[in-house]
Structure formats: structure tokens, C-alpha cells
Structure 1
Amino acid sequence: MGAAYDGDDFYCDLAIPHAIPIDVVHEDELVLAYHHTRPFWEVHVVVVPKRHISSFTTVTAEDEVDVRALLAVVQRIARQVEEEHGAAAVLTNLGRYQDSKHLHVHVHSGPECG
């Protein structure tokens, strides 16, 4: 990926506008899903709403359409990963665990990389 990113919203700054090369799994007007640029697991897909939402814990009623769309994509990708690999996990990070301050969900399977 080149130089390390040092901002706080990797998704708005780089992934959503395709400012870096990404391997897209799904994209529509509300949601982007792609293979993680630095995978932590053998299979590692990140799913993000295109509209900025800071975190799972900051979701409000005005975010309902975006979050429903996000969860529908997460469900579809998790189902596909589970069918192909026999297992899948769905994870979101909060607070200090959340490096990028934009709601995102990891769908993963398999052993840790590296």
C-alpha cells in the first residue's frame, strides 16, 4: 500500500473514493465491501457504509437506511464465506480498538496471517 496511512478515517479518505487499489467484493450507492488491504486472517473482507458513520455505538435513527444496507451486505458475504470455508466470524471494533473512526465490519475466516 506504500506509505503508512496516518489519518483517522481510512475509509472516507482512501477506500471509498478508490484512492488506493482495492479488491472490491461488493459496491453499490450505500455500501462498499472489499478484501482488506492488510489482511489479519486468511479470508478478510471489510464492509463499510459509504456515508460517514463514526461507530456502531454512534448509530442513530437517521442512519437506519445505511445500517440496514450494511448489515444486508455483511449477511450475504458472511453466508458466502461460511459456505465456502465452513466458518465465518463477523466483528466490529469500538473505542480504542477502532483504528479508523468510520463504522466498518470485518467478515473473516481461517487462520491468522503472518
Structure 2
Amino acid sequence: MAEDFYCEEVLSGRTAVSKVLETENVLAYHHTRPFYPVHIVVIPKKHIASLLTLEPCDNDLLMEMMDVIKQTAAQVQAEHGACRVATNLGKYQDSKHLHFHVVYGEPLR
């Protein structure tokens, strides 16, 4: 997998995605290889390596991300009755670009 799939593939347009919600600085889309029946990824359009590398200057972007996550999670919960929101760090983070997963259901794999 690419070191930063989100910058190299998604944000560059090389990999087409099914958008759920988009703002000036944030994109939510259906995962290209879902691990759950409903699997939405929320990413900042600016490269940030992970939750741990956020800087104080990223606070407005983080709040915008949280708003997109909140709207996406509310939509999934309304449709399915529940959802999970998660981010991964370290060896659990395949792509080194901050991203959150909004998921519903049991793992497909």
C-alpha cells in the first residue's frame, strides 16, 4: 500500500471515490475496500500524518473534520441504528495520513 494513499490516490484523483460529504477542507467517502458493510473514511485535504502530529494551527481543520464526522455518523446511525468512529495509530495505521473510519456492522473479513 502507498505510504499515503489519501494524498497519492484519493486527493490526486487517481482513484475515484464515492463521496458522502465534502467541505472545502474535508472529504468523507465510501472506503474503496470496505472492511464493514458500511465503511466511510473521513480525511483532511491537507496532509497531516496522524492524530499525534496535529499542531495548534490545525485546530480549525480538526473542528471541521469533527463536524463532518458528526454529520456522517448521524446519517449512518439514522439509517442503521448504530455506528462506530475510530482512528488508527502506529502500526495499525496503514496509510500515514490522518483519517477516521465511520463504520456499521460486523467485519466482512
Task: Say which of 101, 105, 112 aligns to 2:96.
Answer: 101
Mapping 1:16-35, distance limit 5 Å: 16-35=11-30
Bigger relative contact order, structure 1 or 2 (CA pairs below 8 A, ≥6 apart): 2
Q: Counterpart in 1 of 2:86?
A: 91
Task: Say which of 41, 44, 48 aligns to 1:53.
Answer: 48
Task: Say which of 11, 18, 27 aligns to 2:6.
Answer: 11
Q: Counterpart in 2 of 1:3?
A: none
TM-score by length of 1: 0.91
Q: Counterpart in 2 of 1:71?
A: 66
In structure 1, C-alpha distance between the alignment counterparts of 2:16 and 2:59, rounded to whole Å: 29
Q: Matched residue of 1:37: which SS?
A: coil
Runs of 4+ in 1 over 3 A off after TM superposition: none
Gaps of 5+ in 2: none
Aligned residues: CA RMSD? 0.9
Gaps of 5+ in 1: 1-5
TM-score by length of 2: 0.95
